[in-house]
Amino acid sequence: MRTFVFVTLLALCGVAHAGPGDWVGSAACGGCHPAELAAWQATPHATTRTRFAEKPQARCLACHGTGEAPAGPSAVEVGCEACHGAGAAYATDDLMRNRFAAQVLGLADLSTPKARAALCMTCHARMTRSKAFDPTAPVHPVKK
């Protein structure tokens, strides 16, 4: 009951916003989601750092980084939290099992193709150097 009241109050206050220390990193996500982490590690998102000879400018980290970019330190990768939201508030197992609570605490709702495409297009709307971008393609397909 106490959890329900807490989550309800959070919902009334609005969605959580990430701040310093709210980023747990892709390795932490992989503790519970190992198949997704392994699939992500084979994507260009995971290997973003190889495209830069040195750390990119802060303005580049909005799309090519995960963390406190562009204002502070960030990982030069498009990690789990770049799309799913900073995980410190929702990453515990009991919260991840409650979709509503996790979303109130910052987990992005990417349950529909339209939502995924809208999120992807925040970075991929600009011309990319590789190939044409398909917003409907899975980012980290997991073979089941």
- The residue assigned the tokens 């044409």 is 132
Q: What is the pLDDT, as a whole number, of residue 129?
A: 62
Q: What is the pLDDT, as a whole number, of residue 130?
A: 63
Q: Which stretches in the chain have pLDDT values below 50?
A: 5-16, 69-71
pTM of the full structure: 0.76
Both tokens assigned to 8: 């309800």
DSSP line for 79-104:
-HHHHH---TTT-SHHHHT-HHHHHH
Both tokens assigned to 19: 């701040």
